[in-house]
Chain A
Amino acid sequence: MITLSQPDSIDGTENITPAPSFPQDDGGPVFAEPWQAQAFALAVKLSEQGHFTWKEWTMALADELEKAANRGEPDDGSHYYEHWLAVLERLVADQGLSDPAAMLARKEAWADAYRHTPHGKPVELPTTIERHPAPSTKPQRREIV
């Protein structure tokens, strides 16, 4: 079987016109990393609940992929879920479900929580970050990690 990832194995006569190769796979895992699965599920669920139609989703995703291509980013499919996540963040903001500032603050809060949680303990997020910007020492809510 000829694979594009090994262009040397392609017969010379077939290889006159150089063309961008695409990766081949052997039916590996559906998601390369857990965050991809989470991002996938969030988009599907938000669409199911009517926050955007799937057509709106695919158009936004196609737009994002095209922009990435125009920026000259190599697109071998391995960055697909990064684009997926960018679209998700954009649509969530567009629909007023959250906003970029809240997302950034929450991301930093999670990073902080990881930095301050000892090994072997579940990582917890202070409860009141979103609603009470001032630091709080109230009881903490557990998050699945």
Chain B
Amino acid sequence: MTQDLSQAHQHEHQAVPSDLALRVKALESLLVEKGLVDRAALDALVDAYEHKIGPRNGARVVARAWSDPAYLRRLLNDADAAISEMGFGGMQGEHMVVVENTAGVHNLVVCTLCSCYPWPVLGLPPVWYKSAPYRSRAVIDPRGVLREFGLQLSEEVEVRVWDSTAEVRYLVLPERPSGTEGWSDEALSALVTRDAMIGVAKISLPRVGSAA
């Protein structure tokens, strides 16, 4: 990074970061100094969550479950094992449960207390998942919440709400859209969205037929 110092710039010194940023810097430098954390490991972790761990992982799990009935059974019976088969695991991925959407049942995931979320398959939760209104209303009025996400469910469909905790985290297995028979796992996984795996959306085919 180079700064053009010849520019007529008023302040000669660096802008002081926000109070929050300074508090984190203080903590980090104290803990690094004591050898309690390693700065390179911190950077690697952040990099992984920014670039590698995200809903594409979950989408691959869903696509395989759609196309491989034996895998689907393993996923529903022992999600931890089936997900680690795909190479995903780690923090907040222990004790996962996969809940399957069907024509008659729609599943919705929330964490009413804080923000528990299946990190290895979905990455970190979106802001709305952590907001107080979602955390409280998903339980009280799931159909209303779904409507606000643009999902109008028929009254015949049963809505099941799953409250994630530090012990159990849920992943919704969305319904496979019709018209995708014979598609490759890769093409299928491209259809799968994060919101569908939280349960606030369904999966539909893109209007223009650009499958893969």
A contacts, CB < 8 Å to B: 1-4, 10, 14, 17, 19-25, 27-31, 33-35, 37-42, 44-46, 48-49, 51, 54-55, 57-59, 61-62, 65, 69, 75-78, 80-82, 85, 88-89, 92, 97-98, 102-104, 106-107, 109-111, 114-120, 123, 125, 130, 143-144
Contact = CB atoms under 8 A, between A and B. Distances in A.
B61 to A, nearest CB: 18
Given A38-B42, A39-B27, 18 more contacts: A1-B150, A2-B147, A20-B137, A22-B133, A22-B134, A41-B46, A42-B28, A51-B36, A54-B92, A55-B167, A58-B165, A65-B132, A77-B132, A97-B31, A98-B31, A107-B23, A110-B25, A119-B14
Nearest to B4: A120
A25 to B, nearest CB: 5
B13 A115 contact: yes
A116 to B, nearest CB: 6
A115 B16 contact: yes
Interface string B9-40: 10111111111111111111111011011110
17 contacts: A22-B134, A25-B128, A31-B50, A33-B21, A35-B18, A37-B46, A45-B37, A49-B36, A58-B165, A75-B131, A77-B130, A85-B27, A98-B34, A103-B26, A106-B25, A107-B23, A119-B12
Interface stretch (B73-81, B99-107, B111-119, B180-188): B111-119
Given A25-B126, A45-B42, A85-B20, A125 B29 contact: yes
B133 A44 contact: no
Interface in B127-156: 127-134, 136-137, 141, 144, 147-150
A12 to B, nearest CB: 13
A60 to B, nearest CB: 9
Interface residues of B, number: 69
A76 B14 contact: no
A78 B113 CA distance: 16
Contacts of A10: 148
Contacts of B113: 58, 62, 65
B37 A119 contact: no
A103 B20 CA distance: 12
A80 B115 contact: yes
Contacts of A85: 20, 23-24, 27
A34 B21 contact: yes
A89 to B, nearest CB: 7
- Pairs of residues from A and B, 4 with the lowest C-beta to C-beta distance, nearest first: A77-B131, A75-B132, A106-B26, A62-B113
A142 B24 CA distance: 17
Given A22-B137, A58-B113, A119-B9, A35 B21 contact: yes
